[in-house]
Structure 1
Amino acid sequence: MVKRKSPANPEAIAGWKYEEKVTEIEKIIAQIEAGELGLEEVFEQFATAIEYLRQCESFLQQRQQQVDLLIETLQDET
């Protein structure tokens, strides 16, 4: 199995949107739970969902760092 690396900046991918990735993950989970996929496709879709989750986690970590920096800046100003 080839391990994919999440991009350092998910938004660098043209058209990347957090909410859309979450929706895609939810669709994949629903398909797997419904038993709509063959075994090989289950593994492929599962790998796709994991990649999307990694992208979302990276996005959220970047946003958390931005918030932390803003809070630090505000505290320094007071």
Structure 2
Amino acid sequence: MVRRKNSSSSDSMEGWNYEAKVIEIEEIIARIEAGELELEEVFDQFGKAVEYLRQCESFLQQRQQQVDLLIETLSDE
């Protein structure tokens, strides 16, 4: 499995939609659980879902940092 560069910069996340990725992850899981995929495709789709989960985690971490910064700024005032 090839690891992709971490999408942690806000520029690389431009146009990216958290909710859409969550829906895609749910659809992949549903297809795997329903047995709709050949074994090789299960592994491919599972890898895709893991990558999407990493992107979601990165997105949430960035937003948490922004919230923490805003709270810190408000506390300083």
**What is the TM-score with the length of structure 2 in the denominator?**
0.90
Q: Which amino acid aligns with 1:27?
A: E
Aligned to 2:39: 39
Q: Which consecutive aligned stretches of 4+ in structure 1 deviate over 6 angstroms post-superposition?
A: none
**1:74 matched residue in structure 2:** 74
Question: What CA distance in whole angstroms lies between the structure 1 residues aligned with 2:10 and 2:19?
Answer: 13
Amino acid at match of 1:54: R
1:55 aligns with 2:55: yes
Counterpart CA distance in 1 for 2:74 and 2:21 is 32
Q: How many equivalent residue pairs? A: 77
Percent identity over paired residues: 73
In 2, Cα distance between equivalents of 1:14 and 1:72 = 26
Aligned-residue CA RMSD in angstroms?
A: 1.6
User: What is the deviation of 1:20?
Assistant: 0.2
Q: Decide which structure has greater helix share.
A: 1
> Does the 8 Å contact 1:32/1:42 carry over to 2?
yes
How many angstroms apart in 1 are the aligned matches of 2:63 and 2:13?
A: 17
Report the Cα offset of residue 62 of structure 1: 0.2
Whether the 8 Å CA contact 1:18–1:56 is kept in 2: the answer is yes
Gaps (5+ residues) in structure 2?
none
Q: Deviations over 1:3-32 (max 9, x none)?
A: 233312366255310000000000000000
In 2, Cα distance between the equivalents of 1:51 and 1:7? 10
Instruction: Give the Cα separation in 1 of the matches to 2:60 and 2:3.
Output: 21
Tell me the TM-score normalized by structure 1.
Answer: 0.89
